[in-house]
Amino acid sequence: MENWVEIRKSADFMKMASEYGISPVTARILRNRDLVSPSEIENFLSPGPEAFHDPITLPGMNRVIFVLKEKIQAGAKIRIIGDYDVDGIASTYILYRGLKFLGANADYVIPHRVEDGYGINIRLIDDAHNAGVDTILTCDNGIAAYDQTEHAKSLGMTMVITDHHEVPFEISESGEKIYKVPPADAVTDPKLPNSEYPFEGICGAFVAFKAIMALGAELGLDDSDEFKYLRGELTEFAALATVCDVMELKDENRSVVCMGLRLMRNSGNTGMKALIKVTGLEGRELTPYSMGFIVGPCLNASGRLDTSLKAVDLFLETDMATAISKAEELKNLNEERKQMTLDETAKAFEIVDSAETIDKVLVVYLPDCHESLAGIIAGKIRERYVRPSFVITKTEKGLKGSGRSIEAYDMYEELTKVKEHMTKFGGHKLAAGVSLAEDTPDDFRKALNDCCTLEDKDFVETVRVDMELPLEYVDMNLAKDLEKLEPYGVGNEKPLFAARHMTIIAGRLMGSKGKVAKYKVKNDAGRIYEMIYFGDVKAFEDFVASIYDEETAKRLHSGNAVKVVIDVCYRIEINTYMGRDSVQLQMVHYR
């Protein structure tokens, strides 16, 4: 069951349309995205580097630049320690490529997902110390590494932390949050307490990008042609990570993604070119979808089933033939990961469906599942059951898991309430990783549910509709005008419209497996439109049978005349076939 809610935010849409050369419908979408001021609207419609906030306004960035500049000039050995997901891979590449360009004596290490777990640890610090490393520089991790930082300092090492995750905290008896910032020589993170940075929702790679840009400026190199070329290349990686780390495409994130996608079409990085080629994206329009669901998973697969060092190695490769071979290896790893995910997801669904009752917070134990797949599967459980979900796996070092949440449940804050059941945890509102203190997840599951205050209404999927738009307003001019809102992604979803009493007059199944449906629909005035549906066709047939009869459901996809009147949430698309453009509706929800 779904709850359809129309977003109703007021503004003078006709005036906005006139001022910015857009349709009133597009103006309303902009207002729905909380864009109000002229500068916000202009930066959204014309995204560029002007929207980037000054790196120095990131809390602690001045100190980071001071320390790194001093270490570069002294020739001190710097070791970058990243993370094994796309954001960590991109962050590592950005810092390594940037520091080497600026003359640093630098190398890098990425923790192994299984052997090390997330983030910097004591072993990695000891290895760095034994290798003669003077300075450890973290990226996409480190803000939770208080004890590890103390250990590095006890060895006489310099610690510099760049991160974007939530700062760990404890709740005092009075209910006040007491933040625990690591005692590093320099720390920058947009979420640091008392931060005045204008937009905290950037990824670790974007923080790393800003560090290199600020450091280049400090060293007086930012106006050189070589540094400008570097800026362009690193923008691609900041954009890739922004999409793959599911950052909202708002504010400066929208600008870096727009710029990065344009640059990727003729990428200055051989490894990026190779990955785009082997994934079949060469010559095609690059979008957040292609980055998040095609390119990104190949990089993530390296960290899930092997080592993320292979991904960084790909991006450092300069020979195209070798890069193609390395990219193919990552693609093959991802294909293996896909099948493993399908198998374990089916097991998870069976466990939840067979339970006598369904918990408010789902904790599914898959002992034989590869621990690197836990987050993906938790996300699929959350989508199916609309509940915060954890998948726990059995590893050589005990029980580990990942969680994915719903909007009404702050996963990180809820975990702080049951921390006695974990040896380690981290994350943010919608996602988290945990290591359990017990041999089974039962006590952890019980503790989470005992603390849970979610109500039945929180488990109903809310469909946020941009506006009710009768079909007579849909035409090619509007479809082209809406393209000004691209690229779409989290925080800038593709506009969703609603229409009442839409009549399906014919339908047929498409594709070799018949999993896509195409319909002819008409509005009250009798005008006919094409509509496509990529959802669960069988479920839609069952719905039609429930409101009409079995015979009507059978005729629905027969190609013969039928009459089915429903309310629809739809998106507007431009369909290109044999060189001809036409407007097409995409059904997303129905009732």
pLDDT given at position 559: 95
pLDDT given at position 526: 87
Phi, then psi, of 158 in degrees rounded to 5: -95, 135
Rounded to 10 degrees, what is the CA torsion of 114, 432, 389, 452? 140
Q: What is the rounded distance in angstroms from the CA atom of residue 553 to the CA atom of residue 483?
A: 35
Handedness of CA 451, 456, 461, 467 (dihedral sign): negative
pLDDT given at position 428: 81
Of the candidates 416, 338, 348, the one whose C-alpha atom is nearest the C-alpha of residue 387 is 348
Span 258-268, average pLDDT = 95
pLDDT given at position 467: 97
Which residues pair with residue 509 across a beta bridge? 517
Q: Which of 578 and 14 is assigned the larger pLDDT?
A: 14
Listed in sequence order, the residues at least 6 apart from 315 whose beta carbon sits closer than 8 Å to its beta carbon are 89, 93, 237, 269, 271, 272
Instruction: Using pLDDT thresholds of 50, 70 and 90, give the confidence band for residue 209.
Output: very high
Residues 270-297: tens digit of each pLDDT: 999 999 999 999 999 999 999 999 999 9
pLDDT given at position 174: 87
Percent of the chain predicted with pLDDT > 70: 100
pLDDT given at position 320: 98
pLDDT given at position 512: 79
Q: What is the rounded distance in angstroms from the CA atom of residue 211 to the CA atom of residue 213?
A: 5
Handedness of CA 382, 385, 390, 391 (dihedral sign): negative
Q: Under DSSP, is residue 116 helix (H, G, I), strand (E, B) or coil?
A: coil
Is pLDDT above 80 for 114?
Answer: no
Query: Domains of the chain by range and CATH?
Result: 55-248 (3.90.1640.30), 355-459 (3.10.310.30), 465-590 (2.40.50)
Is pLDDT above 80 for 303?
Answer: no
Residues 165-207: tens digit of each pLDDT: 999 988 888 889 999 999 999 999 999 999 999 999 999 999 9
Lowest mean pLDDT among 87-91, 319-323, 365-369, 435-439: 435-439
